[in-house]
């Protein structure tokens, strides 16, 4: 399999060096740009499988860069890196075409996990037939199925699959309600919020055969899958 090609936009030289070297040691091919204008030139002159973009950069900030990229390419995954923590900044990043958002300071291992997940969703690795173990269930995202102890099978809808995959990827952590609404429904309005609550209820029913599993509501923040 070809190594994933990464365009890293980061103006902090030391951080860019650490991230680049770590990613390269884990099998990624990394091209670095210190500002959005240089990043745009590199993007137009080559092909990349994923973009890792710092929001605050000179000459052209990350939001402007991605806004311009989305006029050219709607598919390439984008992961924002930022020191900003305001919800409005997170929402702006998603609305401009970002696929994920990692706040500084961040763990390099978490960055790699997030990148690999975006690459999976873009089918860079091809559709995986390997199940994900969720308590006593086997979750097959590619088949949209939950199987309990190799016996009882539940067919999931596309949205149920997407939502469960996010919960599993953030297991025992809070899955932010607003970010999830923007990512899966494109808007955090009250109608979509009620719709997501309905899907959470459905997932709870699908997972009820394993009493150790629980999806809890963290009021004002989001949901947490306890495994």
pLDDT digits (tens, 9 = 90+) for 189-227: 888 899 999 999 999 999 999 999 999 998 888 999 998
Residue recorded with tokens 């740009």? 33
Residue 215: beta bridge partners?
225
Lowest mean pLDDT across 20-29, 75-84, 87-96, 176-185: 87-96
Residue ranges covered by each domain of the chain: 5-121, 132-226
Structure tokens, 208:
């009820």
Kindly report the CATH number that applies to the domain delimited by 132-226.
1.10.10.10
Q: CB of 170 within 8 A of CB of 164? A: no
Three-state secondary-structure class, residue 88: helix
Topology of the domain covering 5-121: Rossmann fold (3.40.50)
Quote the Cα angle for 121-179-132, to 5°: 40
E strands, the chain, in order: 5-9, 29-33, 50-54, 78-82, 100-103, 132-134, 137-140, 145-148, 152-155, 174-176, 214-218, 222-226
Give per-residue pLDDT as tens, 119-138.
887 767 665 567 888 999 99
Model confidence at 86, in pLDDT bands (50, 70, 90)?
low
Residue 179 CA neighbour count, 13 Å, CB half:
20
In this prediction the pTM is 0.60
Give per-residue pLDDT as tens, 162-183.
899 889 888 888 888 888 888 7
Same fold across 5-121 and 132-226: no
């Amino acid at each position: 399999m070809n190594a994933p090609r990464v365009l890293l936009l980061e103006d902090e030289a030391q951080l860019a060096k650490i991230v680049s070297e770590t990613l390269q040691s884990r099998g990624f091919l990394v091209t670095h740009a210190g500002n959005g204008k240089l990043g745009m030139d590199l993007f137009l002159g080559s092909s990349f499988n994923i973009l890792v973009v710092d929001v605050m950069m000179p000459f052209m900030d990350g939001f402007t860069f991605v806004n311009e990229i989305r006029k050219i390419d709607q598919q390439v995954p984008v992961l924002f890196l930022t020191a900003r923590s305001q919800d409005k900044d997170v929402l702006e990043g998603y609305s401009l075409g970002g696929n994920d958002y990692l706040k500084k300071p961040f763990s390099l291992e978490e960055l790699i996990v997030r990148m690999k997940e975006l690459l999976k969703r873009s089918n860079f690795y091809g559709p995986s037939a390997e199940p994900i173990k969720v308590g006593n269930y086997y979750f097959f995202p590619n088949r949209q199925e939950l199987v309990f102890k190799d016996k009882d099978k539940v067919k999931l809808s596309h949205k149920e699959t997407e939502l469960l995959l996010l919960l599993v990827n953030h297991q025992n952590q809070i899955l932010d309600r607003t970010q999830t609404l923007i990512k899966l429904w494109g808007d955090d309005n009250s109608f979509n919020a009620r719709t997501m609550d309905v899907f959470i209820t459905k997932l709870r029913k699908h997972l009820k055969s394993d009493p150790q599993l629980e999806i809890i509501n963290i009021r004002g923040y989001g949901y947490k899958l306890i495994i």
